[in-house]
With several copies, the nearest count.
Chain A
């Protein structure tokens, strides 16, 4: 049998030894959107031992121009991204163990999934979850590789607990306005470039080439041909509540509350109930089918309603596609799920 990694082992900083190491390592990829799927594909092709992949969303047609694991079929069937990702990744490499979770990640459920992980790859689209990842990274001493992209821009940094500053050192609080595909659009190559930098750093860490890690924050604009690195010698804040001497991991202790999110790049609002609950699906299906065709798979029930498409997840979340504003989504939600008497808290 031909060695499928022969040309990767021939790259001298990895070699046969690095390849063997890679095949014993376990990474968590948080988010299976554009960056998550690009990183997952590269690392699974590279022969990583185990991947835990977490995503709360379903595949949409407007994802396809940049989210490489998915096809038109999965957009039509509204397959959850984590499930579609696992299916494609196993066709690429059946030797990699892939644990896929359709899950709205928070501090509590992530804390359970993060044990024994060697590295976290950021495939998220918002800073709320990144600040949670950052606290978990510090608490469990697991490095994480930040990546973000919008328009033709991208940025990335490799956070190594005990060695580099942490995200909370760089931003004293969660940035209120970040560039996203909603504000700036997004082109595929900006995603691929950001993910290429992330995966390269991941390969260095996982093959124990720690001295080769990039120590600066990298920022680029692939359309306008700009690239800049920023040194981090003065980045560390000794008073930092996430990585300093008197740390409290503030983002691990948030109160659970129902809240409303606007998801990246989809004119979609997510409503999450404050406590885990199961809906009565047969009741909902009966109620909804007067408005449009109701479809369901093992993870999600979808239905057209006026100009919206509702996706009701078994974990209680409801996505309202086509809703641009939170109030609009809230009133739709209340029409169908009013009996739940949710105390909806709007997160800004």
Chain B
């Protein structure tokens, strides 16, 4: 299983801060595209991604036991 953590705006849009998904073998980009379609999560393809607390790009392939964190960019200041 893959654990996906949602931060900030994504938490509010989803109404929860994490989910468990059976997406081992997918790339990060595939996961994001699927989340965008499935949950109508606006802008999820533009989030920053960490796998097991390390930054990764969209081509990273998920392995069972990974924890993915999706962090929307914050622009204000």
Q: Which residue of A lies closest to B7 (CB)?
A: A219
- B24 an interface residue at 8 Å Cβ cutoff? no
Judged by a CB distance under 8 angstroms, whether B74 is at the interface is yes
Instruction: Name the A residues within 8 Å of B77 (CB-CB).
Output: 31, 33-36, 122-125, 147-149, 191, 194, 264
Taking the complex as formed, is A226 at the interface, i.e. its CB lies under 8 A from any CB of chain B?
yes
Q: A151-B8, A153-B8 are in contact. Are A179 and B54 (CB under 8 A)?
A: no
Q: A151-B8, A183-B9 are in contact. Are A231 and B76 (CB under 8 A)?
A: no
User: A221 near B7 (CB under 8 angstroms)?
Assistant: yes
Contact A178 B73 (CB under 8 A): yes
A125 to chain B, nearest CB (A): 5
Chain A residues whose CB sits within 8 angstroms of the CB of B55 once the complex forms = 165, 170, 217, 230-235
Interface SS, B side: loop
CA distance A31 to B71 in the complex (A): 24
Q: Does the CB pair B76–A150 fall under 8 Å?
A: yes
A265 contacts B by Cβ under 8 Å? yes
Within 8 A of B (CB), among A48-65: none
CA distance A34 to B77 in the complex (A): 6
Contact check, B75 vs A180: say whether CB atoms are below 8 A apart: yes
Please, how many angstroms separate the alpha-carbon atoms of A154 and B57 in the complex? 22
How far is A155 from B77 in the complex, measured between Cα atoms in Å?
A: 10
CB distance from A263 to the nearest CB of B (A): 11
Q: Would you call A176 an interface residue if the criterion is a C-beta within 8 Å of the partner chain's C-beta atoms? A: yes
- What residue of chain B has the Cβ atom nearest to residue A125's Cβ? B77
Q: CB-CB contacts of B1-26 with A at 8 A, as 1s and 0s?
A: 00000011100100000000000000
Residue in A125, A165, A234 whose CB lies within 8 Å of B75: A125
Q: Are A148 and B48 in contact (CB under 8 A)?
A: no
Asked if A116 is at the interface (CB within 8 A of a chain B CB), the reply is no
Q: DSSP majority for the A interface?
A: mixed
Measured in the bound complex, the distance between the Cα atoms of B73 and A31 in whole Å is: 19
Are A153 and B53 CB-contacts (below 8 A) given A175-B46, A179-B9, A228-B69? no
B50 surroundings in chain A (CB, below 8 A): 228, 230-231
- Residues from chain B with Cβ under 8 Å of A71 in the complex: none
Chain B residue at minimum C-beta to C-beta distance from A126: B75
Contact residues in B for A12 (Cβ distance below 8 Å): 12
**A148→B54 contact, CB < 8 A:** no
> When chains A and B are docked, how far (Å) is the Cα of A120 from the Cα of B63?
39
Bound form: Cα–Cα A126–B72 in Å: 14
CB distance from A129 to the nearest CB of B (A): 10
The interface residues of chain A lying within 8 Å CB-to-CB of B8 are 151, 153, 179, 184, 221
Complex interface: chain B residues within 8 A of A126 (CB) = 75
Q: Is residue A127 within 8 Å, beta carbon to beta carbon, of the partner chain? A: yes
A212 at interface by CB-CB < 8 Å:
no
Most chain A C-beta atoms within 10 Å of own C-beta, residue among B9, B46, B72, B77: B77
Interface centre among B56, B71, B75 (most CB of A within 10 A): B75
| Chain A residues with CB under 8 A of B73 | 127, 148, 171, 175, 177-179
A153, A182, A226, A228: the one within 8 Å of B74 (CB) = A153
Instruction: Return B74 CB to nearest CB of chain A, in Å.
Output: 4
- Measured in the bound complex, the distance between the Cα atoms of B57 and A233 in whole Å is 12
**B interface, CB within 8 angstroms of A:** 7-9, 12, 42-43, 46, 48, 50, 53-57, 69, 71-77
Can you report 28 A-B residue pairs in the complex whose CB atoms are below 8 A from each other? A12-B12, A34-B77, A35-B77, A147-B77, A148-B76, A148-B77, A150-B75, A150-B76, A151-B8, A170-B48, A176-B43, A178-B73, A178-B75, A179-B73, A180-B74, A183-B9, A194-B77, A217-B48, A219-B7, A226-B7, A228-B7, A228-B50, A230-B50, A230-B53, A231-B50, A233-B54, A234-B56, A237-B57
* Known contacts A151-B8, A179-B72, A180-B75, then 6 further A-B pairs from the complex at CB < 8 Å, ordered by chain A residue: A127-B73, A154-B74, A177-B46, A179-B8, A221-B8, A228-B53
